[in-house]
A and B are shown apart, each in its own frame.
Chain A
Amino acid sequence: MAARVETAAAPARRRLLPYFALHEWLVFLTVAFLVLMALVGPALAPSGIYRSNILNALAPPSAEHWFGTDDQGRDVLWRVVAGAQISLLSSILIVVLYSLIGVAVATAATLGPRWLDEVIMRGTDIGLALPGLVVALGFAAALGPSIQSGIIAMALTGWPMTARLLRTTMRQTMEQPFVDGARALGVSPARLMLTHVLPNSLDVLIVKWAGDINNTLLILASLSFIGVGAQPPSPEWGAMISAGRSTMSTAWWAVAAPGAAVAVTAIAFGFLGDILQARRDPSLRKR
């Protein structure tokens, strides 16, 4: 007891001063830039990016078109910028939707009777065993190919990991003395969840979200690439890669630019997740 308090003193002070290394700042700036791009990109983009201009098709990168034009003669850079809204905001929407499902499922498993917990946990086992992309593919195909069905499909298939992680954390929180104290005070189950258990369990998801967005972005792009997600002429990145595929040998830029956008975004959010994780878990802190 004494030892813990004494030795904890110094690191505790360091944590009060927000300290970020250079690469951490780089990740934050990239993420901020991407989010900004998703929010204002389409408004800034010239209207030409949705219209064909066959005369100017497959122009290589130049001062006028930094990343060249695609097979319809549209500016690739601006399409990538405008596509950020569809790709990134859709991914965020999907993560929010399936997190809500996950929270509901985890709460039911934590509060409900033991058999319900068993049923739900076996259900998530099955959900986790199935390859997410394939299931989402099936859903999306059944709903008809569109970005909406891609979103619905992924929201409906993405929750098991969240539910499982959150349920484990909620179970641990439930064993904290302050939860016993609240129960002994006569707090209702709903209030117990909302004011005591969830606020002390959701930390674990905040970290997971960053990583999830990276994952979701890749799957969404894959769905569009296969042709069951966003449809041309949507500038969704996966759809752009798919459309550029046929001319890849002559016009590599039409594929490379959206591909790079997917890669940079995925990596940035992946790193963001790692940074948040390290901040939260003192055992991973190097300093």
Chain B
Amino acid sequence: MVDTPFANAPLVPATNDAAPLLDVRGLSVSFGHGPAAVRLVDNVSFAVGAGERVALVGESGSGKSVTAQALMRLNPHMQVSGVVQIGGCNLVALSDKEMTAERGASIGMVFQDPMSSLDPLMTIGDQVAETLRLRGVSAAAARARALRVLDELRVDRAAERLAAYPHEFSGGMRQRVVIAMALIGEPKVLIADEPTTALDVRVQERVLDLLYSVSKERGLAVLLITHDMGIVAGFADRVMVMYAGRIIEQNDVEPLFASPRHPYTQGLLGAIPRIDQKREQLQSIPGAPPTPFTRPPGCHFNPRCAMAMEICRKDYPAMIETGSARVACHIHGGGHA
């Protein structure tokens, strides 16, 4: 199999003018009822086009993983509102049974820990083929498809290894199997939640390269959820930064790294040591990210922000759009949300 020559890839990805594959509007997620209810994700909107790789970056408590779970409707205790449109179909409005059919068919998911996503007592072949078998595909056909997907993900000697069990695989190979499970139903959208956090850097790089190639070749929309700005820079076309349940900045990857606008994004980029350059001192953001119970009024970032003004303590800033960038910060003008 020969890869597409990526050297020719345009520096700035062509914006997808056609209707996006995944269109999320006003997504909010909360837990619990009445006064004990807590809002984990607050009015999040974004879109991912075919073949586009979008990263959702955030720290713990930012709501990034909750967003992923809400898109997949994995947690029955979550109250999800808003619109999640995939191919003309609003996932939020589906019945549980219809949603089960959509999972794997239109939207697939890869989790952080490959070992816990795999059944230790089932062969690799059976697990990868399972999605198809549940849809009534014959055993032989499902097996053939499983083999093809594993080949595509460059699992060596895939035919022999269909009969192997997860413990016989290395961490990186297991994650490929998990990706194969997510891809075998030919979804249009793949959500990858910290897919490489448990892996060593060299394996991480290979797994990300694979995801990159697959998304190019299949025109797959990928939503990568991560806390690692380095991974974002190498993988995504577009980046959304999430803080305390909201998206606070959104931009194409290059302008975002070259000129971050939100003080939080600036702080994050200043806080990571770089292997390729020496920094005297890391810029640090004081304090810690708030939990969903301790989000301050106004802009949720204001207690940690060096540039906070009076209005930041009172009103949540509206999202302002300038060019490719969207940012929710009073420094950049605009009113309150």
| Direct A–B touching, Cβ under 8 Å | yes
- Cα–Cα, bound, A16→B58 (Å): 28
What residues of chain A lie closer than 8 Å to B66, measured between beta carbons? 6-7
- Cα–Cα, bound, A13→B63 (Å): 17
Q: Is A63 an interface residue (CB 8 A)?
A: no
Partner of A6, one of B32, B63, B112: B63
Query: Contact flags (1/0) for B119-137 with A, using CB distance below 8 Å?
Result: 0000000000000000000
Identify which of residues 169-226 in chain A touch chain B, using a CB-to-CB cut-off of 8 Å: none
Q: Is B278 an interface residue (CB 8 A)?
A: no
Q: Is A129 an interface residue (CB 8 A)?
A: no
Taking a contact as CB atoms under 8 Å apart, the answer to whether B194 and A9 are in contact is no
What residues of chain A lie closer than 8 Å to B227, measured between beta carbons? 2
Taking a contact as CB atoms under 8 Å apart, the answer to whether A2 and B62 are in contact is yes
Taking a contact as CB atoms under 8 Å apart, the answer to whether A13 and B32 are in contact is yes
Taking a contact as CB atoms under 8 Å apart, the answer to whether B60 and A6 are in contact is yes
Taking a contact as CB atoms under 8 Å apart, the answer to whether B61 and A10 are in contact is no
Chain A's nearest CB lies how many Å from the CB of B149? Answer: 25
Chain B's nearest CB lies how many Å from the CB of A90? Answer: 45
Taking a contact as CB atoms under 8 Å apart, the answer to whether A1 and B38 are in contact is no
Q: Is A3 an interface residue (CB 8 A)?
A: yes
What residues of chain A lie closer than 8 Å to B237, measured between beta carbons? none
Q: Do most interface residues of chain A lie in helix, strand or loop, or is the interface mixed?
A: helix
Identify which of residues 1-20 in chain A touch chain B, using a CB-to-CB cut-off of 8 Å: 1-3, 5-7, 9-10, 13-14
- Cα–Cα, bound, A2→B243 (Å): 13
Query: Contact flags (1/0) for B281-294 with A, using CB distance below 8 Å?
Result: 00000000001110
Taking a contact as CB atoms under 8 Å apart, the answer to whether B38 and A13 are in contact is yes
- Cα–Cα, bound, A10→B292 (Å): 9
Q: Is B23 an interface residue (CB 8 A)?
A: no
| A interface size (C-beta, 8 A) | 10
Q: Is B157 an interface residue (CB 8 A)?
A: no
Q: Is B59 an interface residue (CB 8 A)?
A: yes
Residue on B with the closest CB to A5?
B60
Residue on A with the closest CB to B226?
A2
Q: Is B77 an interface residue (CB 8 A)?
A: yes
Residue on A with the closest CB to B59?
A2
Taking a contact as CB atoms under 8 Å apart, the answer to whether B193 and A9 are in contact is no
Taking a contact as CB atoms under 8 Å apart, the answer to whether B65 and A2 are in contact is yes
What residues of chain B lie closer than 8 Å to A7, measured between beta carbons? 65-66, 69, 75
What residues of chain A lie closer than 8 Å to B193, measured between beta carbons? 3
Query: Contact flags (1/0) for A1-41 with B, using CB distance below 8 Å?
Result: 11101110110011000000000000000000000000000
- Cα–Cα, bound, A5→B292 (Å): 10
Q: Is B36 an interface residue (CB 8 A)?
A: yes
- Cα–Cα, bound, A207→B189 (Å): 47
Taking a contact as CB atoms under 8 Å apart, the answer to whether A10 and B31 are in contact is yes
Taking a contact as CB atoms under 8 Å apart, the answer to whether A13 and B60 are in contact is no
Query: Contact flags (1/0) for B175-197 with A, using CB distance below 8 Å?
Result: 00000000000000000011001
Q: Is B64 an interface residue (CB 8 A)?
A: yes
What residues of chain A lie closer than 8 Å to B48, measured between beta carbons? none
Chain B's nearest CB lies how many Å from the CB of A181? Answer: 22
- Cα–Cα, bound, A235→B132 (Å): 69
- Cα–Cα, bound, A1→B226 (Å): 11
Query: Contact flags (1/0) for A90-124 with B, using CB distance below 8 Å?
Result: 00000000000000000000000000000000000
Query: Contact flags (1/0) for B317-336 with A, using CB distance below 8 Å?
Result: 00000000000000000000
Taking a contact as CB atoms under 8 Å apart, the answer to whether B40 and A9 are in contact is yes
Taking a contact as CB atoms under 8 Å apart, the answer to whether A13 and B59 are in contact is no
Chain B's nearest CB lies how many Å from the CB of A179? Answer: 25
Taking a contact as CB atoms under 8 Å apart, the answer to whether B59 and A9 are in contact is no
Chain B's nearest CB lies how many Å from the CB of A81? Answer: 44
Residue on B with the closest CB to A1?
B60
Chain B's nearest CB lies how many Å from the CB of A175? Answer: 20
Chain A's nearest CB lies how many Å from the CB of B294? Answer: 10
- Cα–Cα, bound, A14→B33 (Å): 11
Chain A's nearest CB lies how many Å from the CB of B170? Answer: 22
Residue on A with the closest CB to B225?
A2
Instruction: Evaluate whether A6 and B65 lie within 8 angstroms (CB atoms) in the complex, with A1-B197, A13-B32, A13-B293 already known.
Output: yes
What residues of chain B lie closer than 8 Å to A5, measured between beta carbons? 60-61, 291
Taking a contact as CB atoms under 8 Å apart, the answer to whether A2 and B75 are in contact is no
A-B contact pairs, 20 of them (CB 8 A): A1-B197, A2-B59, A2-B61, A2-B62, A2-B65, A2-B194, A2-B227, A3-B112, A3-B193, A6-B40, A6-B61, A6-B66, A6-B292, A7-B69, A7-B75, A9-B61, A9-B292, A10-B77, A13-B36, A13-B293
| Beyond A13-B38, A14-B36, 13 extra complex contacts between A and B, CB < 8 Å | A2-B58, A2-B61, A2-B62, A3-B65, A3-B112, A5-B60, A6-B40, A7-B66, A9-B38, A9-B292, A9-B293, A10-B38, A13-B293
Binding site for B on A (CB under 8 A): 1-3, 5-7, 9-10, 13-14
**5 shortest A-B CB distances, which residue pairs?**
A10-B31, A3-B65, A2-B60, A5-B60, A6-B66
